Structure 1
């Protein structure tokens, strides 16, 4: 039913693009796609992962026959992405072959007001209906059929931001420490060697993080776009207080088939340029009472805002007019001017659908910038930067022992503490002394 094959980097349109990702996993945004391919009369649905590996699903006889959109539960939390439902791709008998969650393929997921975006709107914005129509796969909406419910195992289009081995290494490390440092001694079988082994196991936790971060850094460098047509950097109004992080990280890149938007925190997402569900027009939002431009929105063919740039931070500075002209020329889409109706500028800033996007595409407070770029909080989750060093304190005392196993356990514990705390301290110091201070006012 499905086959795998290597692939190049160009995905034919229409194609689904992933939800935005944090800086450590931008290669997912740059490479992962779902698209169709037709050779002669043979049609295939293609799923491409971050490593540019393809998995192909036959469409038609003996393969995908129809698609059924199953909206999420009405009783669930209104702000949960689960309410956007799933699309089951089924064969002629109704057995599910592949399942796609629209929330994973909406570039601005997490930025739009989830409570305001209906499941049908989410589905349309992903471009999945257009892709299915291009492959001549009929799309219906309804509950899960009895055949689909009995399908057993089937493929899911999953977006993994971290390698699978990362969770295994961390899990083995914590389990090993728990068994060797607590359980085994409680049974009366603990000795100096179990303490050494437990210290070695605990080192796997920060060690796995460091290895994953290095691997993701290499992926990010390899996946950096080399065919950029135009790069637009912020040009804020002089004296506005733009930070070094904002000026050095935030960007809009116009690529041959995509518009790539990078936030102040390094989060990246991409919108298609040539599709109805992509960036097909630019809209300048104007305050009619003052005539001032408040922001620029990238909108699709349904006039839905897909991204937002605050004018004050992007085009009000010395290079703003030139940057705006370059952006308009590079995109080559219509430019529309729209005045606010019934709202003051402040009310609009607080209530419009892309207000979260506007905030993230502007300078962040130091606290929020640190939170959104913190590996432990943003990627791994939890408070391990405190827990792991505390667990390492007991074997650390072995540094003063005259027994070799205890001393080595102390050395491993010291390495664990350094490996856990050094990235945290470096991240905090860089933020507080340079990155998140107003440009030109860094401490020297």
Structure 2
């Protein structure tokens, strides 16, 4: 955490380094010293430009120091990925389902049954609205954001067996001020092109002895590796050399070849060459994933709301589902709403899994 403080020690702004580090998911702030995190995010340059002294403190801050004179908490420079209403609606749905169900059975009030079922429906409905909104927002913004970008897509070797997901999703987009690296599941990393933390050099790693290309490192002005592309999946195909040349020209930075040097033990014959590299996780995500891994990495429940919901919401809905077959109007409506809840919760998972198995995560040829 980087805390901006006034002269009296009161914190007025907090910057979580993990939220500002582009490669946090593939390196992790725990693997980097605080100074390295500041360098990679560009925050150190900002502090220098503003002439703000920097102190490192390993002791946890006292809670009151993060409050202003007015008693409000300090501002946090973070991006909220989910809207606030989403959490309120989901919480109200679970709470409303429980309360209405208790009233329906304890007080024998039949019409509280559809109220309970309708409240629970809010949980998967909120998921659906947010997911649709994200897709719509991305579709609208991508055209404007990347209108002037030079787009480099993978061109894998014939024997690489790259999946359609990888070929359609992974890319390197070069903008005037940023490089946007998108991995095989669609996660974006925005890395600057200017400043000491910006991309200033491309290094093609080669195998010792054979000099065969293994991968490409994007290095910043401090010599730190910011991204790692496996050569066999990106530039080893029929058009690979042309795409390499295009990327070098678009970035307008020096390029060089270096032999791969390992600080640790050699990987086994079954392990990829990038094993032990500081960005080994990045190389994995910039390569095709096995179908099961890809489905896990792109699962809404695994990455956003938690995998238990996929089991618990249908299970809670089963309590009232039997009412569909009864004669009571309230129970029947509750049963229909419960069936709709189960369908809304499970249908996207089933459809996504089917598409993955028969198309998206099957070999798709070349880029």
Query: Would you say 1:316 and 2:231 are equivalent positions?
Result: no
- Give the 3-state SS of the residue equivalent to 1:362 in structure 2: coil
Q: Give the whole-Å Cα distance in 1 for the aligned partners of 2:131 and 2:174.
A: 28
Describe the superposition over 1:137-175 as per-residue Cα deviations: whole angstroms up to 9, x where unpaired: 232223577783675521112221111111111111011
Aligned-pair distance for 1:338?
1.1
What are the ranges of 5 or more consecutive residues in structure 1 without an aligned counterpart?
1-85
Task: Select the residue among 284, 288, 292 that pairs with 2:204.
Answer: 284
Give a deviation string over 1:377-402, Cα, whole Å, max 9, x none: 11111321221112112222111222
Number of the residue aligned with 2:131: 213
CA distance in 2, matches of 1:396, 1:353: 51
Of residues 237, 256, 270 in structure 2, which corresponds to 1:336? 256
Pick the structure with more strand per residue. Answer: 1
Structure 2 equivalent of residue 177 of structure 1: 97
Give the TM-score of the pair, scaled to structure 2: 0.91
Give the whole-Å Cα distance in 1 for the aligned partners of 2:153 and 2:92: 44
State the 1:344 CA deviation.
5.0
Unaligned stretches of 5+ residues in structure 2: none
C-alpha separation in 2, matches of 1:275 and 1:293: 28
Aligned residue for 1:280, secondary structure, equals strand
Q: Deviations over 1:3-34 (max 9, x none)?
A: xxxxxxxxxxxxxxxxxxxxxxxxxxxxxxxx
Q: Equivalent residues in 2 for 1:222-237 (5 A)?
A: 222-224=140-142, 225-237=145-157
Contact 2:217–2:228 (CA under 8 A) maintained in structure 1: yes
Which residue is 1:202 aligned to? 120
Structure-2 change in CA distance of 1:116 and 1:196 (3 Å): closer
Q: Deviations over 1:153-212 (max 9, x none)?
A: 21112221111111111111011111122x3256x3132111111001010000111111
The Cα RMSD (Å) is: 2.0
Separation in 2 of the partners of 1:144 and 1:391? 42
Alpha carbons of 1:326 and 1:412: their partners in 2 closer, same or farther (altered >3 Å)? same
Higher helix share: 2
Tell me the secondary structure at the aligned position of residue 204 of structure 2. strand
Q: Give the equivalent residue in structure 1 for 2:342.
A: 417
1:361 aligns with 2:286: yes
Distance in 1, matches of 2:31 and 2:77, equals 25
Equivalent residue, structure 1, for 2:41: 126
Kept in 1: contact 2:5–2:12 (CA 8 A): yes
CA distance 1:117–1:348, change in 2 (3 Å): farther
Q: Distance in 2 between matches of 1:124 and 1:168?
A: 37
Q: 1:293 aligns with which of 202, 213, 220?
A: 213
Q: 1:109 aligns with which of 18, 21, 24?
A: 24
Q: Deviations over 1:248-307 (max 9, x none)?
A: 000000011110011101111110011210211111111122111110010111211100
Q: Does 1:164 pair with 2:89?
A: no
| TM superposition score normalised by structure 1 | 0.76
Q: In the comparison of the two structures, how many residue pairs are matched?
A: 354
Q: Which has the higher contact order (CA 8 A, sep 6+)?
A: 2
